[in-house]
Structure 1
Amino acid sequence: MKRFFSLLLVGFVGVAAQAQTVHSPGNKLTLRFQLSPSGEPTYQLQFGARPVLKPSRLGMLLQGQPALDKGLTIARVDSSQHDDTWAPVWGEVKQIRNRYKELALTLQQPANNGRRVVVRFRLYDDGMGFRYEFPQQPGLTYFVVQEEKTEFNLPANHKAFWIPGDYDSNEYTYSHTRLSEVNTTPIEPIQLKSAAQRIQTPLMLTSDDGLYVNIHEAALVNYPAMMLNVDTKSFGLTSQLVPSATGAAAYLQAPEHTPWRTIVVSDKAPEVLASKLILNLNEPTAFATTDWIKPQKFVGVWWEMHVNKASWNYADTSNIKLAGTDWSKLKSNGRHGANTANVKRYIDFAAKHGLASVLVEGWNVGWEDWANNWKEEVFDFVTPYPDFNVPELQAYAAGKGVKLMMHHETSSSVTNYERRQDAAYRFMKQYGYDAVKTGYVGRIIPRGEHHDGQWMVNHYNRTAQKTGENQIMVDMHESVRPTGLHRTYPNWLASEAARGNEFNAWSTGNPPEHETILPFTRLMGGPMDYTPGIFQIKLEGWNPERNKGRQVHTTLAKQLALYVTMYSPVQMAADLPEAYEKHLDAFQFIKDVAVDWDDTRILLAEPGDYITTARKAKGKEEWYLGSITDENARTQTVKLDFLTPGTTYEATIYADGKGASWDRNPQAYQIRKQKVNSKTTLKLQLAAGGGAAVSMKPIRNK
């Protein structure tokens, strides 16, 4: 239900017209908007009596036109309130309440032919979103945004969890410093060297007086991603839009609007993780049917390449051209992972253990010299290597009740991929593939564009739309970080867009605190394909020479807990089948745990330290709990009062074993069972870098 109120203020310049105040539906937050004497729009936000944002300026710099940042008057005020409930196609909860108060201010610039821009605020009890809107009007039909002048002026020197503002990669570990200490200079760049004080969103902040503030954006469409420039002296943050190849930020045609700029705020860390503000600010799906979208678990020919047991490429010859090569005459290197016999082994494992799909990377020709060459044509997405029999594997998988998951590495030659998408999706439908993992490793073609710029944002969204039209699910890697668009495109199951588990295989790895930070940062915008479930923690066992000293920086029990604490509707059992065969008792949790949920409770959380989450499986009376910690061992006391009163459950607890730690004894675990109910309190002993996973299933009377 929505109620509207409006006030036309053309020609009226009194104090009432220059300032507006709105309280959130439950009066937790207060927004104040005001024009300065020079006509600069500003806003500020309070949580109760505590300031969240000091007065912060708004504005837009346009190329070849006067800026829309001052000399403005309020021409119209529209306010409304809204309260409804909607059901996501899949997600962490069965229903989501969308309750807010809205304030839309039409600002006019008399000195420049009365140009107009609307600033629209939506104020929730857990935060706020606002965006700029450009109505159709003379003199502002086609226009170029050079930069925004959006500020988030913080009242104090908060602690921040941040990564560098790299326009082409989010695959960094998080720094945890005061705002005054932000400095990306010592950090080795992955693709683009960030400015010293430029960082990315989602940005997680904690104040000394107990506030948790998260700054991000929602519904990123036809616009570049927003980075933040940090003023290390005043603690102000200013928007920095990812530029296009021309240096401008966005090319627009009115009517148009920007994404929502979002601020989630609470005095309780679990409430930040529970917020659905970003999802609420996205549009509902336009797909007529969604019953073909299936949350699922999968295995894949993938990790064995990362741990140097197999290769993506078939031959060792370099400088192979895609067209005109007789691949049947090339000699195999003997290490190619995506061969028919090996894929059948994974299909057998998936069928035996009830996993829905098998991902196969390296199946198609072109992997011999694909990386870092900035080549226009590397892959055609329809031609398999000689040892990968597409029809045979389709029939074999179908006979086992298993699906194959397609892989499209574009090598960031995106123009090539767009030319070939229709043919690639027809090929998928012909051979029974209904899900695809895309990849964008390398520098973007068209050259000069960035992974997070407007051109690529439009590509990701078009791909979500096009795959949806073909009833194909998509999981994007090396894409822009999500902004809740999985509500609009529920076939867009997940993205990578952060430093995933794979980094443990070929770098210094992810520190034990990494997974306690990601839910407060990267996952605020949407699910991540983090690829948990690594059981062979020390990687030397796969290739002693090439993996010396490399390992996953968690315990085995923590890898299980990640299936609950790191939400995704598509979860990979990322290790090799032979690693799971050695620990089938622990693998049972991966088999059991759900990927779609009716309810989620964030029980304990502190960014960078620990998270304990409980979730209720979709359509079942089963609950699953995950608890993780950073490098410090902890005891977590967990009340099970979320369980249905009067029901007794059998809890299977997968915990760190005696003497376990992420670095010295990561594979030590223990499994125990006990009866629990809504009055039970569990004490979970978490080792350093460790965790615990619990399944709770109702005991049925026989």
Structure 2
Amino acid sequence: MKTVYLAIGLLILHVSARCVTIPDLLSPDKKIRVHIEAGNGLSYAVSYEGQPLLTPSHIGLEISDLPVNWSVRGVSTRAVQANILSPVPEKRRQIPDHYNELTIRFRQPISLIFRVYDDGVAYRFVTHIKDSITVNQETAQFNFPQPHKMYYPEVVKRENVDSFHTSFEELYQLKPMDSLTAANLCFSPLLVAPANGPRVLITESDLEDYPGMFLTGTGGAALRGKFAPYPLQEGVTEGEFPQLIVTARAPFLASTNGTRAFPWRVLVIAATDKELPANDLVYRLAAPSRLQDVSWIKPGKGTDEWIIGINLFNVPFKTGVNTSTYKYYIDFAKRFGFNRIMMDAGWSDYKDLFKINPAINMDEIAAYAKAKGISLSMWTLAMTLDRQLEPALAQFNKWGVDFIMTDFMDRDDQKTVNFYHRIAAACARHQLMIMFHGAFKPAGFNRTWPNAVTREGVLGSEYNIWSNKVTPEHDLLLPFIRMVSGPMDYEPGIMDNATEKTFRPIGDKVMSMGTRCHQGAMFVVYDSPIQLFSGNPSQGLLEPAYMELLGSIPTVWDTTVIADARLGDYIVTARKSGTDWYIGAMTDWSPRTLEIPLHFLEPGSYTLTRCGDGVNADRYPSDYRIDTLTVNRDSTLTIRMAPGGGYLARLQKR
């Protein structure tokens, strides 16, 4: 549901006019100003409270057989005060959508729309051409007054494929902008962090039938958009998880409908660090939901066995990808309030979803799960799912599966982007939720397809198996950068916790850097309407109080408050569900004590159940303490965190 109040002003410019002055566009609070120039070229500049954020930056769209002509025919403006009701609220249920908009109609059949919000700027092209078109190139420049430092994830080129193949899972590097050249290909979102002035996060929204935007450097104070050309020919990789790769690309970006809107180019503007994690501008810009009925979408928590290698203990059966193991996971989920389990890679042949692992009796597992009130979730290989799509989804329905994952796309060219929409639509027809792994950022996809509840595109827990990349510092960048573009499947909850000194990447005995409470806090801090617990259930059964607290945490929220935060250092997130509040806090390798006023609470008293770092968590990070106290909105919460530490609390209205 969306209620809209419009104030519209229209300025008609005579066709004979040779020089047109386009009015500046201001944010509702008048802090952000956008200045646009059109004529021989097309550019825009952005300022915040009079301070230049972007200097004149060229933009454009090159379409075959359409001469470039940015002469203006007309300009219209409107002010919008709307409210979006999110059916799957990863941050908040009611989303205010207030902005000022300017639309420029050019003499050629193209329009340009700018929107300015109190927290950002976005623009998009719209074409009005009857026939299909070929987009040869898009110009998207981001020119800054000086080469600020920036946090960016750079593509690491793989052997035997071009640089547009990536799983979108890299660490964030912090370097001055002028250290990047055209040879550095980065994927969005990335964050420009001036020494003084607002943070500027660059990303996109409403990506459909078009390639995603990468960014390159220029050796100066500017970034340039770069897009994967259309794939003309594809091959298939060898190995355990085969996937499609591009062997030849076209000299154009996309062949598409001539009457359409193109993706939004988005600048999220945050005066303070704490404004970033709860920002939902990308969601607001996305196309509205295409689903009439969303009652069957059931967010919640599940288990995943893949990261720990199903290395269970204290069980009377041989563990592995087999019926007994999955029944054990079902019992565990039921015991601690989870509503599903994931059957990850190995339940079937990767290349044939109907060739079931002989150690698995799917009918028995499905019946057992149904009797316990636990849903099943299934992993699939993208190539296989696409080939067997309709019969596979029908079979999932018969088994009582309500959520699937598909994996190993590792691209965002036009053909791959269209795959996402096609798969989400098919899953919706079968009332299945979907998660994409080996995936680019959501870019608002979760608004258009609410059944696409989360996705990867994040360097998360699985990297603990084979690397030392997943540090508390990395964990404390994700809420401020990657999470701004949409929910992310990090898969927290590892229960073997290590210091920086004692950590080792060991398959089948996977540990995480930082404390147990650092892992637990992620269930509150990180947006994901389906959270997958990646810890070892056998360990969890030995710690029922901890698991019961973890099991109580919702995955969708009425509202979100960032109580305190500093980019890359720490965060304190408070979220409300019903009458209860939950607090998650995380720190980097620096120990911290934070004083958090609870003024966001409603009047009345609350029972606070807290899980904090134990007194020895600096040396033994699995050390924690759970206790309770009574608080109200006049209370101040003292949060003490060990190096790499965390804090988790539930506040129940008395």
**Normalization by structure 2: what TM-score?**
0.90
Query: What pairs up with 1:311-350 in 2 under 5 angstroms?
Result: 337-350=320-333
Cα distance in 1 between the residues matched to 2:505 and 2:461: 21
Query: What pairs up with 1:348-387 in 2 under 5 angstroms?
Result: 348-366=331-349, 378-387=350-359
Question: Does the CA-based 8 Å contact 2:468-2:505 persist in structure 1?
Answer: no
1:120 paired residue number = 113
Percent identity reads: 29
Cα distance in 2 between the residues matched to 1:67 and 1:588: 64
Indicate yes or no: 2:22 matched with 1:19: yes
How far did 1:546 drift?
5.2
Q: Cα RMSD (Å) of the superposition?
A: 2.3
Indicate yes or no: 2:627 matched with 1:672: yes
Indicate yes or no: 2:567 matched with 1:607: yes
How far did 1:535 drift?
0.9
1:328 paired residue number = none
Question: Does the CA-based 8 Å contact 2:613-2:645 persist in structure 1?
Answer: yes
Indicate yes or no: 2:550 matched with 1:590: yes
How far did 1:588 drift?
2.4
How far did 1:65 drift?
4.0
Question: Does the CA-based 8 Å contact 2:525-2:585 persist in structure 1?
Answer: yes
Cα distance in 1 between the residues matched to 2:307 and 2:645: 22
1:685 paired residue number = 640
Q: 1:380 to 1:548 in 2, by over 3 A?
A: closer
How far did 1:336 drift?
7.3
- What code does the residue aligned with 1:669 have? Y
Indicate yes or no: 2:70 matched with 1:87: no
Alpha-carbon displacement from aligned partner over 1:342-393 (angstroms, at most 9, x marks no partner)? 1111111111222100111234432xxxxxxxxxxx5222221111101111
Question: Does the CA-based 8 Å contact 1:197-1:231 persist in structure 2?
Answer: no
- What code does the residue aligned with 2:489 have? D
Cα distance in 2 between the residues matched to 1:491 and 1:437: 12
Indicate yes or no: 2:615 matched with 1:658: yes
Query: What pairs up with 1:101-116 in 2 under 5 angstroms?
Result: 101-108=100-107, 115-116=108-109
How far did 1:549 drift?
9.8
Cα distance in 2 between the residues matched to 1:309 and 1:179: 47
How far did 1:14 drift?
5.6
- What code does the residue aligned with 1:211 have? P
Question: Does the CA-based 8 Å contact 1:182-1:232 persist in structure 2?
Answer: yes
Query: Could you tell me which of 151, 154, 159 is aligned with 1:161?
Result: 151
List gaps (5 residues or longer) in structure 1.
Answer: 109-114, 184-194, 311-333, 367-377, 445-449
Please state which structure has a larger fraction of its residues in strand.
2
How far did 1:545 drift?
11
Question: Does the CA-based 8 Å contact 1:7-1:77 persist in structure 2?
Answer: yes
How far did 1:437 drift?
1.3
Question: Does the CA-based 8 Å contact 1:364-1:379 persist in structure 2?
Answer: no
Indicate yes or no: 2:398 matched with 1:430: yes
Cα distance in 1 between the residues matched to 2:543 and 2:202: 41
How far did 1:257 drift?
2.3
1:263 paired residue number = 267
Question: Does the CA-based 8 Å contact 2:466-2:505 persist in structure 1?
Answer: no
How far did 1:583 drift?
2.2
How far did 1:301 drift?
2.8
Q: 1:119 to 1:643 in 2, by over 3 A?
A: same
Question: Does the CA-based 8 Å contact 1:301-1:337 persist in structure 2?
Answer: no
List gaps (5 residues or longer) in structure 2.
Answer: 156-162, 232-248
Cα distance in 2 between the residues matched to 1:467 and 1:142: 28
Alpha-carbon displacement from aligned partner over 1:378-426 (angstroms, at most 9, x marks no partner)? 522222111110111111111111111122123xx3xx43231101100
- What code does the residue aligned with 1:566 have? Y
Question: Does the CA-based 8 Å contact 1:145-1:250 persist in structure 2?
Answer: yes
SS at match of 1:435: strand
**Normalization by structure 1: what TM-score?**
0.84
- What code does the residue aligned with 1:171 have? E
State how many pairs are aligned: 617
Q: 1:438 to 1:5 in 2, by over 3 A?
A: same
Cα distance in 1 between the residues matched to 2:119 and 2:308: 43
Cα distance in 2 between the residues matched to 1:665 and 1:146: 57
Question: Does the CA-based 8 Å contact 1:650-1:676 persist in structure 2?
Answer: yes
Cα distance in 1 between the residues matched to 2:122 and 2:11: 22
- What code does the residue aligned with 2:596 have? V
- What code does the residue aligned with 1:659 have? N
2:158 paired residue number = none
2:481 paired residue number = 521
How far did 1:308 drift?
7.0
Query: What pairs up with 1:624-639 in 2 under 5 angstroms?
Result: 624-639=582-597
Cα distance in 2 between the residues matched to 1:545 and 1:518: 21
How far did 1:55 drift?
0.8
Indicate yes or no: 2:66 matched with 1:76: no
Alpha-carbon displacement from aligned partner over 1:469-517 (angstroms, at most 9, x marks no partner)? 1110111111121111211111111001111111011222312111111
Question: Does the CA-based 8 Å contact 2:312-2:538 persist in structure 1?
Answer: no
2:189 paired residue number = 202
- What code does the residue aligned with 2:381 have? E
Cα distance in 1 between the residues matched to 2:46 and 2:506: 53
How far did 1:251 drift?
1.3
Indicate yes or no: 2:271 matched with 1:272: no
- What code does the residue aligned with 1:399 have? A
Cα distance in 2 between the residues matched to 1:308 and 1:250: 46
